[in-house]
Structure 1
């Protein structure tokens, strides 16, 4: 392990990501897949009275 400290390490995934041929988790699509978004309030201890989902 100590032989790697302070040394440059060539990253193997760079070529795929830079050329656009890499696959990201956000690119994966599956049948019946659902997505969720979690949003944090900008107001501490606030009461949610409604959510606009448009």
Structure 2
């Protein structure tokens, strides 16, 4: 899945209003692989390939 280049969702994410919570340890075996910031675009699939990687 991906956004089309003319989608109205591009650039509509709340990147300054939200911050990720680092409540799970970053650990390759028993935790998160990384703590990622909120996306720039609305939805899970970001135009630049960032966003939900799981």
Q: TM-score, normalised by structure 1?
A: 0.22
Structure showing the higher helix proportion among its residues: 1
Q: Which structure has the higher relative contact order (CA within 8 Å, separation 6+)?
A: 2
